[in-house]
Structures are given as structure tokens and as C-alpha cells.
Structure 1
Amino acid sequence: MKKIAPHWQILIALGLAVALGVVFRNFSVAAGDVSSFALFANRATAVSSFVGDLFMSALKMIIVPLIVSSIIAGIGALGGVKGFGRLGAKTIGFYALTSLTAILVGLTVVNVFEPGLVDGQPNIEIREAFDRSVDSASESERAKVEAANQKQATDYLDFFKKLFPPNIIAAASDNGQMLGLIVFSILFGVGMTRLPVGEMQTLQGTIQGVNDVMILITRWIMMTAPIGVFALMFPVVYQSGAGLFLELGRYFGTVLTALAVHMFVTLPLILKFVGKVSPVAHFKAMQTALLTAFSTASSSATLPVTMRCVQENAGVSRRTSSFTLPLGATVNMDGTALYECVAVIFVAQVMGVDMAFGAQFVVVGAALLTSIGVAGVPSASLVAILLILKNSNVEGAETAVVALLSVDRLLDMSRTAVNVFGDSCAAVVVGASEGEKVLQGDLHDFEGDIEDEEGLLDED
């Protein structure tokens, strides 16, 4: 019997989670919150959340050793500063271009759809929904908004401090310090290439061995992906009420439309005309990573899967992907930047704040800057959105953000998938520019991975 491909397993798990979540919620509402079925459903979601947390923890467990070993081994393969400088310039240029393009797409779509207006006037019903959402918000949601409200514009100067963490061990344990870990790994890799040949080869061989082991562990973890995806999705569907979702339907549609335009139009055009590769082939190569990103809503947690898809399915070399992807998971947030722009303009429309071209240009710049270095974890853009709203003098920003946060999970999942796809496009385009034969082999779905471990040690 032929084994079901991993991306189909994950997709089936997503479908089952959605169906079961809807059924459980409908039966619980019909039976009453204190009924035996509702109590059973609450226990089921608690168990599911626990299993989902275990899956997320397993993915996050391998992020630090994978990033460190990948970057150092990749720089060693590049042969020193010269090769690294060329690769770095291409990568950073690509990320800057796609992030700016994503924001402009979001700005265009939100101005065309005007989700916060009715006949050119602020939507009073949505504003009332904002006020109601404050009363129904959970303590954790209020705490997030309160913490975000304490941030100041000058706090983003800490971004430069994070480049050089005083304690690299502490930085490795903090998602917000991932950028510092990358800088350390780059410095270590460049320093390694300056050692005598014998010492360098010994050290590089050891680090490459660590990287090979981490890839193998990634394979083991991904064998449990369908269970983990189901466990993550089921509680989300069960606990999400439909009321506010319906009231914010135009906002949802605007964000999803903008994300879809960037993911299915802008990035494929770049792949086709800049990378000279097939966008369809790349989508097929990235299926597993995109579904994992959508399920986990964390680009950092998805990084091991993204690296594996890009290397083994898209054919990008380790020396290219080991630099572009970890950096992208930290600083390249196309979906997040686009979302921040749409969310700010939407709230301004609802609150009756008329943003002229100049004010919207400021929002574009702020979204671009704040998206850099945003931690790849759920709802990390909350601080940036609230900060931009406050600096734009939009009244009631805290109330609006509470409402957006309460229905943010689906959009968070969607923009994370866009973030991950943007990172993978960078790896493919940069790899193609380096003369690599990307997306030219037969795609496979990692079948027989555990049995075929010899290929893990092959050189690119």
C-alpha cells in the first residue's frame, strides 16, 4: 500500500481538526456551557492543547542548534568573507524588495476595499464591536495589549543592541534574541575560515556533523506532524466564536486578499522573471512547510521544516539555504509587514481618522522597519501595530487592538505562511543567481527518510 504523502497527511489532519472543532462547538452551545458534553469538550481541548504544545516545543527545541550549525557550516562552504558578502548582499536586497512590495500591496488593497468605511463614513457597527470586545476579552489578551501599550518608539533602538547580545547563552534561550544568535554564528563562521587549514577542516567537519544530526532529528519530529497539526488546530476552531468574525468580515477579506495577491501573484512573478524557475514547482516543493507554518503560526518553529523542503525538494544547496532561511525567519516578514499596514489603515478608517498620502507613507515606513526583527511567534506584530497607531494619533487604539487580537489567530496563521513562502523564494532566487540547479529535479515528499539516511551526508 502506497504511503500517503506528508503534505496530504497534514492537510487531512487540518480538515479533521476543523470539522471536529465545529461539531464540538455546536453541540456544546446547544447543550449549554455547564452540560456534561461541554465539560467533556473542554477537557478534550485541554488535552489537545497539551499535545500541540509538545509538538511546538519539539520544533523549537532544535531551532538554536540548527541555526548555529547551518550558518557556520554554510559560511565555511562559502570559503570566507568574499563569498559570504556576495550572498549576504543578494539576500538582504531581496528581502528589502519583497517586504516593501508586500506593504504596497496591502496599502493598495485596503484603500480599494475600505473595510472600515460605509459609504465613505466610519463604520459605526465595527466601532461598537470594538467596544464590546473589550468586555469579552480574556485576561491574557488584555495583558498582551497592556504590555504592548508600554512600548515607546525609542524601544526599537534596542534592535541594534540585539545584534550583539552580551550573553550568547541567554540569547539562545530567548526568541527575541534570535538576531543576535545569527550575528554570533556569522562572526564565528567567518573567524573559522581564518584558522589554519587543518584546524578549520576539523572544526568545520564537527559542525557539519552537528548540522546533519539536527536534520535527522527534524525528520523524526516531522513524522508526528499530522498529530501535532490536529492538536494545534482543534482548540482554535472550538474556542473561536463566529460573532466578531462576521462583524469583521470585510476586514478579514481585505487582509486575506492582500496576502493572497502577494503570495500567488507578486512572489511567483519574482520567481518566474528573476529566479527563472517555475512557481508551480516551487509551490509543490514547499507544501509541507506551508501547511506547517499555517498550523503553528510560527515562522521560527517552522524553520527546520522550511530548510528541509528548500534543500531536499527545491534543490537549493546547504551553503545558500543555511544563510538565507535563518536570516529570513528573523528579519523577513512579508506577511507581517503587509498585515500591519492593513490593520493600521483599517483602524484609522473605523475611528474616523483621515490618513492622507503623507500619513500613509509614514505607515509604510513604520511597517517596514517594525517588521524587521519581529520574533517569529504568534501575535508578535501586536506591539508594532499599537505603536504605529499611537504615533499616528489614532484614538481608541488599545480598544481596537484588543478586538483585532481576539480574532487574530486565523490571520496570524495565514501571514506566517506568507512569511515562510517569502523566505523560501529568497533561497531559490539567490540559489539560482549563484548558478545552482534549483527546482530541476523530481520532487519527493521525504518518503523513506528514516531508511535512507546515507543521503543525509552527501555534499551539495
Structure 2
Amino acid sequence: MPKIKLHWQILIAIALAVVAGLITGHPDETALGARAVEVYDFFGTLFISALLMIIVPLIVSSIIIGIAGIAREGRLGALGGKTLGFYIFTGLVAVIVGLVAVNMARPGFINGEPAGDQLALDRGAEEVVDQVEEGGAGELVDIFHRMIPENVIRAAADNELLGLIFFALLFGFFMTRAKKENADTLYRFWDGVFDVMMRITYLVMLFAPIGVFGLVAKVAAETGVDAAGPLAIFALTVVAALAAHVFIVMPIIIRVITGHNPYRLYMAMGPALLTAFSTASSMATLPITMDCVRKNVGVSQKTSSFVLPLGATVNMNGTALYECVAAIFIAQAYGLDLTFGVQFTIVVAALVTSIGVAGVPMASMVAIGIILTAVGLPLEALGLLFVFDRILDMLRTATNIYGDGVCALIVAHLEGEKDLLPKSQGNVNI
């Protein structure tokens, strides 16, 4: 009997959770000797706790290995600088697009009121506000102070993730500048830590359907169908922001930098975009992406063989945009009027974590957990995002792949390559 893939298991769990929640939503309904809602909350809380358990070692080891791997292989030259610079730039642009969209649409508010009650968020707004203020996320200056931790161990214990991310970036880069024997030992150590954490992450993900069932069933039991409205508006906000990034912002960047007709790239990248949408995996799409970029866009083997594999690992425009919108949506649902400092923290965290956890199963959920923790928001709302996550994952993966193609085109142009994006697209590989 063929094994059901994880995303289908999660989708089935969501459907069953909605049904179970609606059936057992009455306060008198019990299961296993306790109220049904308490049973759902038990499994949902276990899943959230497991995610919290893996965040610190996973994010630190993944960033250290990622940065060290790039520097170790000598790929930080001119071509590497242009590629990484463009990926960071477009990632930042994507986050800003998401920031504008979520502040305009305000999906976390329904008729001017926070949607927390409709989404069955347990904590009151006052408690969350106090937690955010205690975390120091309200002042821009304090954000920069927290990016440089006085004590790395204490920062890890207190989930001061901005400081840990900054430390990991520095450690990964300068690790390759140490004596060869020391650098090799450190690299093997952190690579081993990352390998172990990935195995633990896969173990946690095996229980994701049960955790998601508990989280969604709890919401359905407490709110009925009331939660559908805010979540649908949130999903539409994400879709609109992704569309604006892909069909407006990126074409402008292509036109300004290269002078080419940006809309030819959609046809040239068509097979890769469709594959990315169907698989929701940048790595699985990589062979088709490389074929499209070489044969249809006209980028050389030298450029595409460097830009695209790196992009499949670190270029996560759609993911970064989604993380930003999701974090602010949750804050809005609690009734928070986010200051510039908090939103700046979310922008930085979304940009860095979209790179740092790119290869992790269900990376966006792990990254959103990191962002919420960084700004002092509770993680209980994380389960709500699973309801529409599959379709949004497909869309943001296609956005990521399109961004890889844009980068390959622009870097090839900057490297002086000719005959890019030929007018005739009649031989597009499908």
C-alpha cells in the first residue's frame, strides 16, 4: 500500500479536525474523560512544544553551515557577490511588499475589531502587549542592541533569536578563516549538529498531522465556522501580495536593470513554474529550472550552474513575504497596533529566517515560530495557518522559482552575456 505523503496527511487531518471540532464543540462534550477541547489542546500544545524544542539548535546550525559552505568553497567572488546581493535585495523587496499588503488589508481585524475571539486565541490582548513590550521589541534602538547578545548561552535560553542569528552569521563566516584543522573540525561538528537536528525535525513532522488536528479541531470546537472569515482574508492577502511581487515588482526590476521585456520570462520559465506549483519544492524543481534557464532564457552553463542551485537553497522571496504577512496577521488578531520597531524586527527576521531554514521540512512554519518568538508574540496561533498552508505553499514556491530565474537573467546580463530572452519562445521545453 503506497504511503500517503505528508502534505496529504495534513490536509486530511485538517478536514477531519473541522468535522470533529464542529461535532464536539458543545461544552458538555467529553472524550477520554475530559472535555473534547482540552483533548485537542493537549495534542496541539505537544506539537507546538516540539517545534519550540528544535528551533534554537536548528536555526543556529543551519545558518552556520550555510554561510560556511558558501565561504568554504570560495564562492564569495564577483559572481557570488552579485548573486547573493540580488537574492538579499529581492528578498527584502518581497518582505516590504508583504508588509504593505498586510497593513492595507488588515486581515487580523474584522469590522474594526481584532479577530482573536473568532480565531479562539486564548491570551488576551493586554497580556500579549505586555509580553511584546517586555521583549523590548517596541524600540528600534533596542532591536539593534538585542542583535548583539552579551551572553550567547543566555540568549539561547531566553529565545533571543535575533542575537543568535547574528552570532551564527559571524561564526559561520569566520569559522572558515580559522586554521584549516580547526575549521574542518568545527565544520564537521556543526554539520553533525545540523544532521541530527534535521532527523529530529523529520521525527516531529511525522506527528504534524496529529498536532495540526489538535490545533485546528480546538479552533473549530470553540468558534464553529467563525474562524473561516479572517483566515480566508489572510489567504487572499498573501495571494495578492505574491501576485504584486511576481507581476509588478519583479518585471520592473528586470526592465530597469536589463532593458529586456520582462513578460517573456513567464513563458520561458513556464515548465519550472508549473512544476514548482505542483510539487511545492524548490529542490525538486531545480533540474527543470536549470533546463528552462539555459535553453529558454539563454543563460550560460557557468552562470546558471552557480546561481540556480544557490537560489534553490537561499532565495525564498515568496517564503519571506508569507512569513511577514503571517506574523503581522497574528499580531493584528491580538489587537496590536504594531510600532515601526516591531515591524522592522519582523522584516529582518523574515528575511534572515527564510534563508536560514530553507531546507527544513515545513520551513515556513518553523520560521514563523522564530519570528513570533523574536517579537514576543505567543505561538498558539501557529496552527491556524495550516488551514490554507498547502495552496499558499504551492504559490510561494512558484514565486521562489520565478525569483531564481530573474536572478539568473540579471546576473547573466551583468556578466555581459548576450542573446538573453530571445523573442522567439517557440521552442520552450514543456
CA distance in 1, matches of 2:391, 2:106: 21
In the TM superposition, 1:184-263 aligns within 5 A as 246-263=229-246
Correspondence for 2:308: 325
1:269 alignment partner AA: I
After superposition, the CA RMSD in angstroms is 3.8
Within the alignment, does 1:115 sit opposite 2:101 as a pair?
Answer: no
Identity %: 45
Correspondence for 2:336: 353
Within the alignment, does 1:439 sit opposite 2:406 as a pair?
Answer: no
The alpha carbon displacement at 1:416 in A equals 0.8
Within the alignment, does 1:390 sit opposite 2:373 as a pair?
Answer: yes
In the TM superposition, 1:42-121 aligns within 5 A as 85-121=77-113
Deviations 1:341-363 (A, max 9, x none): 11111000001222111211111
Within the alignment, does 1:294 sit opposite 2:277 as a pair?
Answer: yes
Correspondence for 1:420: 401
Cα 1:308–1:161, aligned 2, differ >3 Å: closer, same or farther?
A: farther
The alpha carbon displacement at 1:121 in A equals 2.4
* Structure 1: gaps of 5 or more residues: 1-20, 30-70, 73-79, 132-148, 178-240, 448-460
Cα 1:151–1:356, aligned 2, differ >3 Å: closer, same or farther?
A: closer
Question: Is the Cα–Cα contact under 8 Å of residues 323 and 368 in structure 2 kept in the other structure?
Answer: yes
CA distance in 2, matches of 1:361, 1:169: 31
Secondary structure, aligned partner of 2:77: helix
The alpha carbon displacement at 1:97 in A equals 1.1
Q: TM-score, normalised by structure 1?
A: 0.56
Deviations 1:262-304 (A, max 9, x none): 0111111111111222212110010111111111111111111
Q: Which moved more, 1:245-254 or 1:88-97?
A: 245-254
Q: Which moved more, 1:397-406 or 1:150-159?
A: 150-159
CA distance in 1, matches of 2:168, 2:242: 29
The alpha carbon displacement at 1:398 in A equals 2.4
Deviations 1:57-114 (A, max 9, x none): xxxxxxxxxxxxxx99xxxxxxx97x97221121112111111111111101100110
Cα 1:167–1:288, aligned 2, differ >3 Å: closer, same or farther?
A: farther
Question: Is the Cα–Cα contact under 8 Å of residues 263 and 418 in structure 1 kept in the other structure?
Answer: yes
CA distance in 1, matches of 2:390, 2:258: 33
1:375 alignment partner AA: A
Correspondence for 2:389: 408
The alpha carbon displacement at 1:119 in A equals 3.7
Question: Is the Cα–Cα contact under 8 Å of residues 116 and 126 in structure 1 kept in the other structure?
Answer: no
Question: Is the Cα–Cα contact under 8 Å of residues 103 and 367 in structure 1 kept in the other structure?
Answer: yes
Question: Is the Cα–Cα contact under 8 Å of residues 331 and 372 in structure 1 kept in the other structure?
Answer: yes
Q: TM-score, normalised by structure 2?
A: 0.60
CA distance in 2, matches of 1:412, 1:162: 29
Question: Is the Cα–Cα contact under 8 Å of residues 285 and 310 in structure 1 kept in the other structure?
Answer: yes
CA distance in 1, matches of 2:405, 2:256: 16
Question: Is the Cα–Cα contact under 8 Å of residues 277 and 439 in structure 1 kept in the other structure?
Answer: yes
Within the alignment, does 1:305 sit opposite 2:310 as a pair?
Answer: no
CA distance in 1, matches of 2:88, 2:309: 16
CA distance in 2, matches of 1:276, 1:337: 27
1:166 alignment partner AA: R
* Structure 2: gaps of 5 or more residues: 1-10, 20-68, 123-156, 177-186, 200-219
Correspondence for 1:166: 188
Question: Is the Cα–Cα contact under 8 Å of residues 110 and 345 in structure 1 kept in the other structure?
Answer: yes
Deviations 1:229-284 (A, max 9, x none): xxxxxxxxxxxx99665551110111111111001111111111112222121100
In the TM superposition, 1:114-153 aligns within 5 A as 114-128=106-120, 153=161
1:430 alignment partner AA: V
Cα 1:365–1:167, aligned 2, differ >3 Å: closer, same or farther?
A: closer
CA distance in 2, matches of 1:390, 1:167: 27
CA distance in 2, matches of 1:330, 1:160: 19
1:440 alignment partner AA: P
Q: Which moved more, 1:153-162 or 1:301-310?
A: 153-162
CA distance in 1, matches of 2:354, 2:191: 25
The alpha carbon displacement at 1:158 in A equals 5.0
The alpha carbon displacement at 1:120 in A equals 3.1
Secondary structure, aligned partner of 1:166: helix
CA distance in 1, matches of 2:327, 2:104: 15
The alpha carbon displacement at 1:330 in A equals 1.2
